[in-house]
Amino acid sequence: MKKALLMLMLFPMLSFGATITRYVNTGSTAGGNGTTNATTGDNRAYPDPATGEAAEQTDLVAAGNIIDFECSGTLPITALTTVDGWTTSTTCYISFVGDWRMPESGNPWDATKFRHDSAALIYNITECVHLEYMQFSSSYTGNGWIFPTGTPDLTIKNCIFRGGTQTTPEDNWAIFTNGSPSTTTIINCLFYDFPTVNTSMRVIWTNSTGHIFNFFNNTMVGGYYFWRAIVVNAYNNIIQGAVDCCLNVTFLNEDGNIANTSEFSGASSHNSVSVSFFNAEGKDYHLSSTDTYALDGGVSDPGSGLYSTDIDGDTRSGTWDIGADEYVSAEPPVVIDEGWIPQVIIFGW
């Protein structure tokens, strides 16, 4: 007991297994310590993910910690973020979380929220990283916008990837992995506006033998090849508008997927069909109530508890829908009869 008390006296602030929160705000400037979301003062937010990453590099595994960078601001991030020099694991990782949220209707891109919109590589990753509620768009002519190398495990959840009108082959490699085998898991993401004019426009592909992709409930629109030379577990994904959905793809497990080409063999999958979106022309890729394939057409809980909501934050229930959106019917309006006037009767007068 005396030894325990002595340890508490010597190390009163020591803790293990914590989530460390740091802030990134594009309205801030360099020189703060990132402990608040303020844009002035010594405790002000980091101005971009790269500055925060460089300042906070540490051994997360030794302390059993997670570090969470909460990202906000109206200015676009145009510079590269290299995530390297840490010690991480699948349970002790670096998380970047944006302030973007999928609107219930309309074009999903929000120029008033945190976003990566540049002509540069966005993330060069050699550590275990989670990316959530992010907006990505780039015209980078290199090895993908997000470039995991080495042996990191990467998780991307509830994000949007917006393509462009470029014709240079590498411009629209949204995710390209290279290096030793590892795992990339993508959940509830929307990929759209990817060009189809060039056979080298591979939205997601790998140069890593043995790298495994897990795709759960994503909506993907466009691209010449959407998946290229990857090994994949695929459940509840929509691929529409691709010239050739998959090239040299090895499916480890696959079900509940939809493609506009002939790719899938799962019992609940559909080939050469079109999904009905609410307003595809207006970039609104929520499911239409008239859809006959994606609504209640998926595999329920394919991640075995890994996630239970959609890109809107709506709870998935029953037989899950296919794609990033779980269709939720609008609540009926409350009707008030303005012709009815309550009567008040006062007794005793």
Element (H, E) at 234: strand 231-235
Backbone angles phi, psi at 54, to 5 degrees: -65, -35
348's tokens: 């005793």
- DSSP label of 150: S
In a domain, 110, yes or no: yes
In a domain, 275, yes or no: yes
Around 173, how many Cα atoms within 13 Å sit in the side-chain half-sphere?
25
Amino acid at 217: N
Domain of residue 256: give its range: 98-287
In a domain, 24, yes or no: no
Backbone angles phi, psi at 3, to 5 degrees: -65, -40
For residue 282, the SS3 value is: helix
Cα-only R_g, the chain:
23
In a domain, 103, yes or no: yes
In a domain, 314, yes or no: no
Q: How many domains does the chain have?
A: 1
CB atoms within 10 A of CB 198: 16
In a domain, 108, yes or no: yes
- Give the pTM: 0.88
CATH number reported for the structural domain that contains residue 227 in this entry: 2.160.20
In a domain, 241, yes or no: yes
By DSSP bridging, strand 94-97 and strand 66-72 are parallel
Closest to 24 (Cα-Cα) out of 90, 94, 84, 118: 94
* pLDDT tens for each residue of the chain, 349 residues long: 433 433 333 333 444 589 999 999 999 999 999 999 999 999 999 999 999 999 999 999 999 999 999 999 999 998 889 999 999 999 999 999 999 999 999 999 999 999 998 877 788 899 999 999 999 988 776 667 888 887 789 999 999 999 875 655 555 578 888 777 789 999 999 999 887 776 666 788 887 788 899 999 999 998 777 777 688 999 999 999 888 878 788 899 999 999 998 889 999 999 999 999 999 999 999 999 999 999 999 999 999 999 999 999 999 999 999 999 999 986 444 444 455 444 444 434 3
Give the separation between CA 225 and CA 205, rounded to whole angstroms. 9
In a domain, 57, yes or no: no
Please count the residues of the chain: 349
